[in-house]
């Protein structure tokens, strides 16, 4: 029992270190994303015309759903909760777009891919990209983002959404689903960036800047989502290890109490036998 407590304690410490590392990555990503949002906010608030194939909405007949989970276990109900919400999301697609809508699930993480593979719906397919998992490097995430973009631009996907755990604290992670493509103006907090926006002279023209910056924004979003997934996974593992440790302590206390009862009962029986023998003599 003591060795089990040491193991869970060590795993908790390892997960805590990984979570803090992911938190640090999130803090470093945030200024980059904010800067891009400020640039796009300047464009949106300026009297300029621009467009991009990544912003063109079309009739939805094929949906891409990027679902992020974990590659490893021992993280409690982390993957189960994501998968349950995924099923709800799939039913919502059928209700909104009809039963014939095709859904491609891009599963990130072995545990999530294994769960999605059990879905038997003929119009729902699973895609996993080699080298892309919950521990992917920045280059892998970039490659994955460009793959999603190319499928959308080729017309094989009409709508792309991200489904992941939003990291808020060690004890709190919230499921979030957000639209990735096409990019809509509501994606940018234009009201929030207006205070930072000043009259600008665009060089080169606004259209060129917009087309160049938009893929950078999508990459920043995807990087942030992958990092949040890592932080949330480790936070869930910390809570799972803490729960396992608490349960082990409770079990140890119960066993110790039972042992003491049996020991006391044995001593009492021996004393009664001794007293009974003395009386007979």
pLDDT in tens, 167-209: 988 888 999 999 999 998 777 655 555 545 566 677 788 888 8
Give the whole-angstrom CA distance, residue 48 versus residue 186.
18
pTM: 0.85
In a domain, 279, yes or no: no
For the chain, the average pLDDT equals 87
In a domain, 266, yes or no: no
How many CB atoms sit inside 10 A of residue 168's CB?
A: 13
Our count of domains for the chain comes to 1
In a domain, 257, yes or no: no
To the nearest whole percent, how much of the chain has pLDDT over 70? 91
How many CB atoms sit inside 10 A of residue 192's CB?
A: 12
Host domain of residue 35: 11-241
DSSP 267: H
Domain containing residue 64: CATH number: 3.40.1380.10
In a domain, 6, yes or no: no
In a domain, 268, yes or no: no
In a domain, 60, yes or no: yes
In a domain, 161, yes or no: yes
Helix axes 2-45, 206-280, angle to 10 degrees: 160
Give the whole-angstrom CA distance, residue 276 versus residue 281.
9
CB 233 within 8 A of CB 134: yes
Q: Which tokens in the block code for residue 169? A: 């604290």
**Element (DSSP H or E) covering residue 161:** strand 159-169
With a cut of 60, say whether residue 90 has pLDDT above it: yes
In a domain, 1, yes or no: no
Give the whole-angstrom CA distance, residue 82 versus residue 85.
5
With a cut of 70, say whether residue 54 has pLDDT above it: yes
pLDDT in tens, 57-78: 899 999 999 999 999 988 989 9
Helix axes 206-280, 78-97, angle to 10 degrees: 130
Q: Which of 140, 161, 133, 145 is nearest to 218 (CA)?
A: 145
- The whole-number pLDDT of residue 198 equals 60
């Amino acid at each position: 029992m003591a060795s089990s407590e040491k193991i869970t304690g060590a795993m908790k410490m390892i997960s805590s270190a990984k979570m803090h590392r992911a938190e640090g990555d999130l803090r470093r990503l945030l200024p980059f994303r904010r800067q891009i949002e400020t640039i796009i906010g300047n464009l949106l608030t300026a009297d300029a015309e621009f467009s991009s194939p990544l912003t063109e909405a079309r009739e939805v007949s094929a949906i891409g759903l990027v679902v992020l989970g974990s590659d490893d276990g021992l993280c409690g109900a982390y993957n189960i909760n994501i998968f349950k919400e995924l099923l709800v999301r799939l039913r919502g697609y059928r209700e909104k777009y009809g039963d014939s809508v095709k859904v491609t699930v891009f599963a990130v993480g072995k545990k999530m891919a294994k769960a999605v593979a059990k879905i038997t719906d003929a119009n729902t397919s699973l895609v996993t990209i080699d080298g892309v998992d919950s521990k992917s490097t920045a280059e892998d995430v970039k490659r994955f983002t460009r793959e999603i973009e190319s499928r959308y631009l080729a017309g094989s996907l009409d709508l792309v959404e991200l489904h992941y755990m939003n990291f808020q604290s060690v004890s709190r992670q919230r499921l979030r689903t957000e639209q990735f493509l096409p990019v809509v103006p509501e994606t940018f907090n234009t009201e929030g960036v207006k205070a930072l926006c000043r009259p600008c002279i665009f060089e080169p023209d606004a259209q060129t800047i917009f087309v160049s910056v938009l893929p950078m924004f999508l990459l920043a979003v995807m990087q942030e989502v992958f990092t949040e997934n890592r932080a949330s996974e480790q936070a869930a593992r910390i809570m799972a290890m803490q729960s396992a440790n608490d349960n082990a302590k409770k079990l140890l206390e119960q066993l110790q109490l039972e042992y003491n009862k049996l020991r006391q009962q044995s001593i009492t029986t021996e004393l009664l036998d001794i007293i009974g023998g003395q009386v007979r003599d």
